[in-house]
A and B are shown apart, each in its own frame.
Chain A
Amino acid sequence: MRIETLKAGETVLYSGPLCIMRDAAQKRLIQEMERTGKIPVDLEGRIVFYAGPAKPPPGYPIGAIGPTTSSRMDKMLEFLYRRGVLATIGKGKRTPLATELCVRYRRVYFVAPSGAAAALLSRIAEASCLAYPDLATEAVYAVEVTDLPLITAIDVTGTDIFSLEDRPMDLTRTPKKG
């Protein structure tokens, strides 16, 4: 993905792999790294989707899914970036710390549609659990998505669509394949 050239406000239809994890899994990864010096998931090159899926309906690889509030995990963002995570996907405005880290590590933050879990489920083809199955919905999952609609919310220059000065006027144009 052309991370460096994405501009805040730009829409993207993403197809490819995602790594799903949220509060509990990230906290445990950090604790495990501190304790043992290694973690059970290779995060290099991954895009992390902050989400906790519902239970899978019959015939689906995973359940209804959508982004959770990203700002709760800002204090754990540097841990992800230092292990090679390229981008994060979530919902809502983040704290200045996240913007600063996006600039320093040349990374981006996307928002995905929230409260659209039934529709997003149809964009997911495969899913498997990578680590911490005991955390249930908060376990680490790998999924393959097709045409997931995203908006670049913080770009590598630190432009943030949620800050009023930065809010682009052109959020409604047609999504490009990304």
Chain B
Amino acid sequence: MTRFSEALVRANTELDPSIREHLERYQGPFADILKENDRIAREKSLPLCQDTGFVECFCTLGQSVALEEPLQRTLEAAVANTYGAFPFRDSTVAEPLFRRTPLKDNVPPVVHLFQTEGKTLEIRFLVKGGGSENLSRYYALEPSAGVEEVENKVIELVGDNGAMSCPPLHIGIGIGGSSEKAMLNAKLALTYPLGARHRHPDYAQLEERLFRKLNALTIGFQGLGVGPTVLSAHTVYEPTHIAALPLAIAVDCYLNRKGVVRFED
């Protein structure tokens, strides 16, 4: 799991080059310190953001891969070792409602496991900050709802709340499936590379339109009105029930700290 740990450190300390391009072009408020941050974090292995996240893992396991222990245990140990060794933040509490006692070493990660054919284990992960996570939304739309209603929900959410989640934002949209599957797909969409488009032309066009309309909100870097409002918008769809049109929206901050690690058995 050394490669997973390394990827976790990289996600926390090195800005994705495709995001750096946008930052380099930005000339608005706080531009200098954001650029300085990118440089210092990389040079000194310091976290880009003090909120070093809740680690969310989306694992696809080939059917012939033999694991020595449950994946949850392996990933939890990797997160504990990494967050124990680096000057990151432990941002988890043991129980959410009554005591909220802080946990050490930022465990546990959230682990989702899917099976597929073959002999590869792929781990996609997000280092997910709390501010952007609080913008996650689920809507049970009526099946007769059209694409406009889907677009309006996304635009309304970002327009009303986008400024508080460290824009320019990354938007993940899960459409169809069941309620939890839609949210899972919305999260998965946040792990996709900037600029990638859905292979289905209708969904690719939807992504393009949302990208354009969201950027027309001119929320800008830091919510201060200058520069892009979103850097990416990705959709994932699933078959769904005749009575349903699930829509889940997940939002990530400008840093979009993520990674993909693959292991061949």
In the complex, which residue of chain A has the Cβ closest to the Cβ of B160?
A93
- Chain B 231-260 interface mask (CB, 8 Å, partner A; 1/0): 000000000000000000000011100000
In the bound assembly, the distance between CA atoms of A136 and B253 in angstroms comes to: 24
Residue total for A at the interface (Cβ-Cβ under 8 A) = 45
- Chain B 32-45 interface mask (CB, 8 Å, partner A; 1/0): 01101100110010
Pick out which of these stretches binds chain B: A79-87, A98-106, A118-126. Answer: A118-126
- Do A118 and B164 form a contact, CB below 8 Å, given A52-B89, A55-B89, A63-B89? no
In the complex, which residue of chain B has the Cβ closest to the Cβ of A138?
B102
Residues from chain B with a CB closer than 8 A to the CB of A77 are: none
Mark out the residues of chain B between 194 and 214 whose CB falls within 8 Å of any chain A CB in the assembled complex: none
Residues from chain B with a CB closer than 8 A to the CB of A60 are: 87
In the complex, which residue of chain B has the Cβ closest to the Cβ of A90?
B164
- Do A137 and B91 form a contact, CB below 8 Å, given A64-B49, A116-B34, A118-B37? yes
Most interface-central of A64, A69, A121 (chain B CB within 10 A): A64
- Do A171 and B48 form a contact, CB below 8 Å, given A54-B89, A151-B224? no
Residues from chain B with a CB closer than 8 A to the CB of A118 are: 13, 37, 40-41, 44, 46-48
Q: Is the CB of B47 within 8 A of A64?
A: yes
Output the least CB separation between B3 and chain A (Å): 23
Q: Is the CB of B49 within 8 A of A66?
A: yes
Q: Is B80 an interface residue (CB 8 A)?
A: no
In the bound assembly, the distance between CA atoms of A161 and B87 in angstroms comes to: 34
Q: Is A53 an interface residue (CB 8 A)?
A: yes
Q: Is the CB of A69 within 8 A of B131?
A: yes
Q: Is A172 an interface residue (CB 8 A)?
A: yes
- Do A151 and B29 form a contact, CB below 8 Å, given A136-B90, A171-B224? yes
Mark out the residues of chain B between 144 and 183 whose CB falls within 8 Å of any chain A CB in the assembled complex: 161, 163-166
Q: Is A115 an interface residue (CB 8 A)?
A: yes
Q: Is the CB of B40 within 8 A of A122?
A: yes
Q: Is the CB of B50 within 8 A of A54?
A: yes
In the complex, besides A52-B50, A53-B89, A171-B28, 9 extra interface pairs with C-beta distance below 8 angstroms are A55-B87, A55-B88, A92-B163, A114-B253, A115-B253, A117-B49, A118-B44, A137-B90, A171-B226
A to B CB contacts below 8 Å, 11 in the list:
A69-B131, A69-B134, A69-B165, A71-B164, A91-B131, A115-B48, A117-B47, A118-B13, A118-B41, A118-B46, A138-B102
